[in-house]
Amino acid sequence: MAQSSTDLMTKPTWGLKGKHILVAISAGVAAYKSCMLVRDLIRAGAEIKIVMTEAARAFVSAETFQALTGEAVYTDLWDDRVHHRMAHIELGRWADAILIAPASANLMARLAHGICNDLISTLCLARPRERCPLLIAPAMNREMWSHPATQRNAQALQDDGAILLGPDRGDQACGETGDGRMLEPAELFEALDHALSPKALLGRHCVVTAGPTFEAIDPVRGITNRSSGKMGFAIAQAASQAGASVELVAGPVSLATPWQVRRYDVVSATEMLAAVDLAINRIPLHEIERSIFISVAAVADWRPEVIAKQKIKKLAGDTPPNLRFTENPDILASVAARQPRPYCVGFAAESELLREHGEAKRKKKNIPLIAANIGHETFGQDLNQLLLLDERGEHPLPLASKQALARQLIEAIADRLS
């Protein structure tokens, strides 16, 4: 499930601030979602121009988008505002990215076959493809989407380099339910940010662990910690935006999966180790040393030796149960001991002596980089501060949002790998 637009607007973005984004609107009820998207993109610092088909104005007026952007909407192939009346050339040159949302079946068919009979189709064909990505968010009835002709057109557009966003599955304006809903504004926002972010990790594989583990005592009780998973999820998102192919192994948390990230949900430390091994074993052997493992999860050090089959009942006068514990596997040390091994980054959640304990952990695990923080001050919070420790010394990352810190960490990793 995607994050809300409001949540996204509290987060820094790599790719959107100062970027020129052309939002094209074709006919469809989903055009109302594009109003919210445009507002959010402007709040993120992007510069927006709007192009609409004539049919789109039957659903949302051009005046609505003019009020949102402060600029008249482009609708005419021969717009007098544009030099030499070449709107299809000048708008494409201006744009850093073009997003069509919603994209109707009709418009997708014309784009797939290079038919230029209005401003949107013409400027998409004329855009400088090497630097201006085309993102397409389909929206249509489920029968229209599933029709072989539409599927051929969608595949042709992807073969030509367009980025297809969705569609989603759900209730439709026609009263039916199925595939064909346009993605929500928050998802389109994240996809644009992803497309325009610097790709310092392009071509690399990255495995991230996040959240707590839960070690069962009986069917209803267990041992866990206060980790929310926010830092690990932010790092997975930042790595994906930086171009890496990311697999996220998540303990029991309730967070949305970041865009373009593959997720494994686990509960215990032994399950997490198995999922990490599976994810790393999926990486081709010759690419392992170019890959990255970031161990962010707060993994329980011990687990009960025996799990009671039924709930341990509290009876009057009873003494507390005598629990015996056994050590959990050390996931980070296990990955660091592989040959060949990924570039390993650890996290140290400490309560005191951050540099001393963090550096001791880095050396014990035999890893090149560790990020230390005060665990009880950051668990469940939106802000954090990190102390990066490597063989060159310490590198503090001051208090900031976990999303901002995640991007700084990914930049630091990319710098070391380069």
How far is 400 from 77, CA to CA, in rounded Å? 46
DSSP one-letter code for 288: G
174 in active site: yes
- Asked whether the predicted pLDDT for residue 7 surpasses 80, the reply is no
pLDDT value at 2 more than 50: no
Which domain, by its residues, includes 112?
5-196
CB 399 within 8 A of CB 388: no
- Bridge partners (DSSP) of residue 171 are 177
Give me the mean pLDDT over the 211-221 stretch: 96
pLDDT digits (tens, 9 = 90+) for 312-363: 988 777 778 889 999 999 999 999 999 999 999 999 988 888 899 999 999 9
Domain boundary among 174, 196, 218: 196
Verify that 26 and 133 share a domain, yes or no.
yes
Do 265 and 382 fall into the same domain?
Answer: yes
Give yes or no: residues 224 and 113 share one domain.
no
Domain boundary among 175, 196, 217: 196
- 191 plus 235 within the same structural domain: no
Do 262 and 320 have their domain in common?
Answer: yes
Across the range 14-26, mean pLDDT stands at 92
Q: Are residues 55 and 164 in the same domain?
A: yes
Q: Compare 351 and 60 and report the one with higher pLDDT.
A: 60
Answer yes or no: do 188 and 317 share one domain. Answer: no
150 and 225 inside one domain: no
Q: Are residues 192 and 298 in the same domain?
A: no
Note whether 364 and 381 are same-domain residues.
Answer: yes
CATH number at residue 165: 3.40.50.1950
Tens digit of each residue's pLDDT (9 = 90 or more) over 262-318? 999 999 999 999 999 999 999 999 999 999 999 999 999 999 999 999 999 887 777
**Residue 17, both tokens:** 């601030």
Predicted pLDDT at 93: 93
Question: Is there a single domain that holds both residue 289 and residue 321?
Answer: yes
Q: CATH number, domain at 410?
A: 3.40.50.10300
163 and 26: one domain?
yes
Distance of CA 70 to the CA centre of its chain: 30
| Helices assigned H by DSSP within 202-353 | 230-241, 269-281, 331-336
Domain boundary among 196, 219, 235: 196
Give how many domains the chain has, as a whole number.
2
Q: Which of 35, 116, 132, 174 is catalytic?
A: 174
Torsion angle, alpha carbons of 145, 128, 132, 63, to 10: -70
Tell me the pLDDT of the chain averaged across its residues: 92
